[in-house]
Amino acid sequence: MSEPIHEPIRHGGNLREAARRYSIPLEDWLDLSTGINPLGFPVPPVPPDAWRRLPEDDDGLAEAAALYYGAKAALPVAGSQAAIRVLPTLLAHGEAAVAPLTYGEYAPAFERAGHRVVPLDVSAHELPLHVDHAIVANPNNPTAERIPRDTLLRWHAQLAKRGGTLIVDEAFADAFDPAGPHASLANETDREGLVVLRSVGKFFGLAGIRAGFVLAAAPLRAALAGTLGAWTVSGPARHAVEAAFADRAWQRATRERLANNSARLAALIAQHGFDDVKSTPLFVWFQDTDAATLQHALATRGIWTRLFDRAGMTPSLRIGLPGSEDDWARLSRALSESRA
């Protein structure tokens, strides 16, 4: 069910590729192909020592992350991608269940490590029989599906009985109220066999600094730290993340803004005749047999979106949030012209 591991995985944000393909200068594009906050956290000036000195593990970043996420402990890593590549090598070989349409790096990473990847139907809220490990994004990228905490904890209990692991990717979870109905599993990660991955790239709009966190029980965190080695997160990145975690007022205001803009974007897409639009606060997603045609039409107008066109599935499009009123007007105009 996964893409062959020898093929490159397509991600959003490949704007230079789009610029070459459509012969439109890079600066003339509106990039809506990712789910990254277009109005990211305003990082304060970086202290000179952050550039000159090697990063230090005892600088308080791990503790700040644990406090922010409500976890017992956190391991800083160079974006959750670094953990995704290594975690499968630390788990006992077995069957790993991954949704057919989710973040594309999981299935190849588990295949490379010698696991057998099987499909996971998250909408059924049931695990495949005898699966050893399950990997879910919550909310899912790109389908925006959300799995209740109770279901995930039940899955963890089932897997833990046979020495398995539940990995929950919460890259988009920051955009939701931490005390709301879509609360994180971070406060449960002292349990053996439960791993939560968090990223500062999406909600905080800091994807370029490559920083993320692994929330898990001490033995797995230690094994992962030993494999990744020293200095996984740079000094300037550590400075930016600590400042972002501390600014609760910015976080509250940003959650409200993202929720409003997400609803606005979903309404805009529906207004142009697309049905059953799903959304998170950072992107919308919808299926349509003409999704590839729409992506192309928008691209000819310098707007880049993310197409999902896997065999056996209805094509779909993911569109991120515009960052300014001019960008909103440009998208609306392009949709009208494309549909016409």
Q: Where are the domains of the chain?
A: 15-41+249-339, 48-247
pLDDT digits (tens, 9 = 90+) for 236-271: 999 999 999 999 999 999 999 999 999 999 999 999
Is the CATH number of domain 15-41+249-339 3.90.1150.10?
yes
Distinct helix (H) and strand (E) counts, the chain = 11, 13
Round the average pLDDT of the chain to a whole number and report it.
Answer: 94
For the domain bounded by 48-247, which CATH number is listed? 3.40.640.10
| pLDDT of amino acid 154 | 96
Q: Is the pLDDT of residue 5 over 50?
A: no
| pLDDT of amino acid 45 | 96
pLDDT digits (tens, 9 = 90+) for 167-178: 999 999 999 988
Q: Where are the alpha helices (DSSP H) in 191-340?
A: 218-228, 235-246, 248-271, 291-300, 325-339
What is the full DSSP assignment across 91-127?
A: S-SSEEEE-SSS-TTHHHHHHHTTPEEEE--GGGT-P
pLDDT digits (tens, 9 = 90+) for 212-231: 999 999 999 999 999 999 99
| pLDDT of amino acid 232 | 95
| pLDDT of amino acid 163 | 95
| pLDDT of amino acid 7 | 53
Question: How far, CA to CA in Å, does 304 sit from each of 16, 47, 168, 337?
Answer: 11, 36, 29, 15
User: What amino acid occupies position 37?
Assistant: N
What pTM was estimated for this model as a whole?
0.94
| pLDDT of amino acid 181 | 66
Average confidence (pLDDT) over 148-162: 95
Q: Is the pLDDT of residue 35 over 50?
A: yes
